[in-house]
Amino acid sequence: MTHSIPHNVLLDLPPFPPQRTGELADRVAALLGTKNDVLLVQGEAIIALEAAATSLARPGLKALNIVTSPYGAWFGLWLERGGSEVTNLAAENALPITFAAVEAAFEKQDFDLVALVHAESASGILNPLPEIAALARSKGALVVTDCVASVGGHPVEVDRLGIDIAVIGPQKALAGSAGLSMLSVSPAAWAQIEKLGAKEISTLSLLDLKRNWLEKGRGALPGMPSSLELHALDAALTRVEAEGLANVIARHETAARASRAALKALGLREFTPPETASNLATAIVLPESISVPDALAAIGPNGRAISASVGAAANRVLRFQHTGRLAGFEPVVANIAALAGALNRLGHKADPGAAVNAILEVYNKASAA
């Protein structure tokens, strides 16, 4: 007697057509505004970041590594592991780096490479990428940028800004799956990478990926490609293209403005100054009488976009996300309502009606524009 195996939509996907893998890279290039090579890396974006650092690092390379999160700190460690001389420039207390601090670093010495995160979804900050990239270019330094969170939430114009390596993942503002990552590589970055050559076959070697995929017609990815993740990236890109990248960015901008207006109506203060805040998340300072654990316990499962912040501010600051599918009217209202209810239960008077009215005002203005 035979038993049929039930079909499962996640487990029984057809193989992703190898000839379409290169098309995915071209669609990513369009999102990034670049004519540079785009590589697909099997794995979450942390793998692509480590691959970029590992491929660039060499003894004598002088790198200015801007640290505004654990990812920035790790990038510096990966460069050091390859023998590079790394100057870590850390921002203060979970805040963005200042352009003045970067200028001061360049006044002390020259660098071959500048690395930074564009937008931090964990803390809600936005680093001054255009200004930093322009300064780095004027000094002849490569620019390596983690744009995982910012792509889709902010303009990421690789060629216009002169970014040599931009690493992205689809899991943030693009609202996709986290199992595949992408990076663009400029001719100048390839020249640096090729100084070392590919010493061994490695999943962390961009040069290996160039030789074994890019230069072989961009068919199936080396190894065993994940059909699930390739189909998921295809679906995420299709959804973004249908909405239009400019509209996706505008949706995040509106959600950010609405969230901040509502949080102000609840009597809460933003941790990050508005001019340096990203469209992806808002960091809010809790009243002195309320701790982060108590706030999260009171919010419960209804506030799925609200979590503890990171770094030095984590003990006093909550993170209110408005990223990807959470960047919309209904999710913003739902999470504000959950937060307002929690504040009232913890003894902080909060008016949910005023907060919702603030949200409506922002969305009505956006609709009329």
Q: How many CB atoms lie within 10 A of CB 296?
A: 15
- Per-residue pLDDT at 196 exceeds 80: no
Task: Spell out the residues 6+ positions from residue 54 whose beta carbon is closer than 8 angstroms to its own.
Answer: 78, 81, 82, 202, 204, 205
Q: For residue 257, what are its two tokens? A: 């403005």
Query: Which of 7-16, 119-128, 180-189 ranks highest by mean pLDDT?
Result: 180-189
User: How many other CB atoms are there within 10 angstroms of residue 71's CB atom?
Assistant: 19
**At a CB cut-off of 8 Å and minimum separation 6, what does 262 contact?**
332, 336, 355, 356, 358, 359
Enumerate the CATH 3.40.640.10 domain ranges in the chain, comma separated: 18-243
Please list, in sequence order, all residues whose beta carbon lies within 8 angstroms of the beta carbon of residue 164, skipping any fewer than 6 positions away: 142, 143, 144, 185, 186, 188, 189
Mean model confidence pLDDT for the chain = 93
Nearest-5° angle of CA 306, CA 121, CA 119? 155
Q: What is the mean pLDDT of residues 291-315?
A: 85
Instruction: Give the pLDDT score at 315.
Output: 75
Other CB atoms within 10 Å distance of the CB of residue 58: 15
Q: What percent of the chain has pLDDT over 70?
A: 97
Sign of the dihedral defined by the CA atoms of residues 131, 137, 139, 142, in that order = positive
* Range 190-195 contact pairs with CB under 8 angstroms and sequence separation of 24 or more: 190/37, 192/56, 192/112, 192/113, 192/142, 193/55, 193/56, 195/58
In Å, how far are 126, 272, 290 from 170, measured between CA atoms? 19, 25, 35
Distance CA 184, CA 35 (A): 9
Q: Per-residue pLDDT for 1 more than 60?
A: no
What is 245-368's CATH number, 3.40.1440.60, 1.10.760.10, 1.10.357.10, 3.90.1150.10? 3.90.1150.10
pLDDT of residue 8: 86
As a whole number of Å, the CA-based R_g of the chain is: 22
pLDDT over threshold 90, residue 369? no
pTM, two decimals, is: 0.94
Stretch(es) of the chain classified as CATH 3.90.1150.10: 245-368
Q: What tokens were used for 33?
A: 């505004």
- The per-residue pLDDT for range 240-277, each reduced to its tens digit, is 999 999 999 999 999 999 999 999 999 999 998 888 99
Model pLDDT for residues 310-368, shown as the tens digit of each residue: 765 667 889 999 999 999 999 999 999 999 999 999 999 999 999 999 999 999 999 99
Q: Is domain 18-243 classified as CATH 3.40.50.300? A: no
C-alpha 151/C-alpha 13 separation (Å) is 28
pLDDT for the residue numbered 252: 98
User: What is the spatial distance between Cα 239 and Cα 248, in angstroms, rounded to a whole number?
Assistant: 10
Say how far apart CA 60 and CA 336 lie, in whole Å.
51
